[in-house]
Chain A
């Protein structure tokens, strides 16, 4: 099997995690850092093993991008909008209150994803009702009310 260039990112990420936790382990006492160091060493060793496997695969079979399989059918605009909408939604919960933010988030998502109006209304009412019955009434969760209420 050919080496995938995309796996370089995986290896870099794992080494970065090792380095990050290793640096932060300096402040810990000897007994307290023994187990974290064991886990860091384990991840470091396995990542290095994977790197060796990658190099051997590159020498033997060559190198391929790998991006075509990772990003097959990827729709960047739709994906980014979903991520941004989710982030804005989470930020707005405290400001506008849970139900207002949820309603706005769902309407925005349905409009962008071109969901028919009737389906959108049914889904919106069903979700709000489900959250109210299951979380507010049944679990007694006090949801953020926001500044509008």
Chain B
């Protein structure tokens, strides 16, 4: 206990270094910009910025990515409130009451509510991050080769179902990713596999190139195929971006309810911020003493949605950091960032790399304060950015994809790989396949292979070794549940969004 408190304290001291503070400010500002641009998503922003973190210390790099994540989730509310277009799906529910408030001449108040609620949602979510992450990591200590194999399978079944309209298509995406993950040198005996005479494939397909291609370049192609639309002019507003004491008191219970819901949704693999915002909004409506205000610009509606979607951020990091199971696209990309730094999710993050992990946690706490400050002070400026045309975004994002993938090994081969994955990602998205499942399979594939072949080697090829421990059985059952999770999620989504199916 004392050790943990000491690590927490040290984490805050390290997080308060000049470079880390700079990383938080830059990350949050960049995240808000990405979030408030309707064509861009949080996952895409984090993927695009991954190469910039290569030369940074691990904690600083992760703080930047975490700051972009939080900033982007909040940033989506700015365009939702001012131009009635959610920047990210996580702010879809915010647009309902937020834009009504704008029409009522209360845009400043709506933005202040979004900032305040996002701040508390994110800050409170850090409590569960501090509390549950080390506990879950202890459990992961018991995992041997067979359990690691099943853990990989469980992770894949969960992510394969997320945002796929067909379960089988989601699983097919994961299996495709697993095949691609076998490219490169055999992890056990070093034999060349599917390298087609290309030396740069020795280490396998570069995960960062794949991430940039699948999430960012594919988005460029999606934007390029559609008519370039003129975005609505952001509403001008003169009221202050500030809440009165009474208003803060009014939304307090809503924030607490949304925090609890958002946090639980974040921890559950498969659910995400887009579901949480509708749950937060619905519960705010249900428990409000002023139900008549809903639909006409209810401050509690904005608070419910924004506190819930930001409460997801801390919670969603828990299964990713401890078990290596990212529950949604953004955490899958963040896991890529962790692996690029040479760190593997699991117990070692809380033992060998505890100092780095607790610095990241502390950074995540501080990021919320910067989000509040930058969000409140910069709302007017970000509102103008949210109108940026896709015609400008298309070439700019393309250039960032190219330079980002080139910077990895400073050769054009990575750019080619990124482009191939860009085309693959585009086609996958067009035909309802799941790009996040491919990314996860690329990360989990080698881990699963080592687990499977390691277990078989120890047992002289006896496949029964995969079914011996209780932990293996728990993971097998969870994998089966994971396969059917899309059915449950679809029903859940329809229930919380009133029949409107959400898309990540």
Contacts and interface: CB of A to CB of B under 8 A. Distances in A.
| Centre residue among B188, B224, B430 by max chain A CB count within 10 A | B224
Contact of A46 (B168, B394, B402): B168
B220 interface: yes
A31 B189 contact: yes
Interface in B114-172: 166, 168-169, 171-172
B403 A24 contact: no
Nearest to B423: A83
Interface in A106-145: 106, 109-110, 113-115, 119-120, 123, 127, 131, 134-135, 138-144
Given A32-B188, A83-B221, 18 more contacts: A31-B189, A32-B186, A32-B189, A32-B193, A36-B193, A73-B227, A74-B226, A82-B225, A82-B394, A90-B412, A98-B406, A102-B399, A106-B399, A109-B398, A113-B394, A114-B228, A123-B392, A141-B403
Per DSSP, chain B at the interface is helix
B399 A36 contact: no
Interface residues of B, number: 53
B449 interface: yes
Contact of B175 (A42, A75, A140): A42
A149 interface: no
25 contacts: A9-B431, A10-B172, A17-B176, A28-B193, A31-B186, A32-B186, A33-B193, A35-B453, A39-B175, A39-B179, A43-B172, A49-B168, A50-B166, A53-B166, A78-B225, A82-B225, A83-B221, A86-B220, A87-B419, A93-B412, A105-B398, A110-B392, A123-B392, A140-B55, A141-B403
B191 A29 contact: yes
| Centre residue among B391, B412, B430 by max chain A CB count within 10 A | B391
A139 B52 contact: yes
Given A73-B227, A110-B391, A140-B55, A79 B175 contact: no
Nearest to A103: B399
B394 A109 contact: yes
Interface in B177-208: 178-179, 181-182, 186, 188-189, 191, 193-194, 196
Interface string B2-46: 000000000000000000000000000000000000000000000
Contacts of B433: 10
B395 interface: yes
A123 B399 CA distance: 12
Given A17-B176, A24-B194, A123-B392, A79 B224 contact: yes
A34 interface: yes
Nearest to A51: B168
B55 A139 contact: yes
Nearest to A123: B392
A114 B179 contact: no
B410 interface: yes
A70 interface: yes
Nearest to A40: B179
A100 interface: no
Contacts of B194: 21, 24-25, 36
Interface of A: 6-7, 9-10, 14, 17-18, 21, 24-25, 28-29, 31-36, 38-40, 42-43, 46-47, 49-50, 53, 70, 73-75, 78-79, 82-83, 86-87, 89-90, 93-94, 98, 102, 105-106, 109-110, 113-115, 119-120, 123, 127, 131, 134-135, 138-144
Given A50-B168, A105-B399, A139-B54, A82 B221 contact: yes
A21 B419 CA distance: 21
B62 interface: no
Interface in B289-305: none
Interface string B263-292: 000000000000000000000000000000
Contacts of B453: 31, 34-35
Contacts of A78: 224-225
Contact of B182 (A35, A87, A123, A143): A35
B261 interface: no
Contact of A35 (B227, B394, B412, B449): B449
A11 to B, nearest CB: 9
B384 to A, nearest CB: 12
Contacts of A141: 403, 406-407, 410
A113 B391 contact: yes
B425 to A, nearest CB: 14
Nearest to A9: B431
B395 A105 contact: yes
B395 A43 contact: no
A141 B410 CA distance: 7
Contacts of B191: 28-29, 32
Contact of B396 (A18, A70, A123, A143): A123
Nearest to A14: B172
Contacts of B407: 135, 139, 141
B189 A142 contact: no
A148 B353 CA distance: 47
Which 9 pairs across A and B sit closest by C-beta, in order of nearness? A82-B224, A113-B391, A109-B395, A43-B175, A39-B178, A79-B225, A32-B191, A36-B182, A42-B175
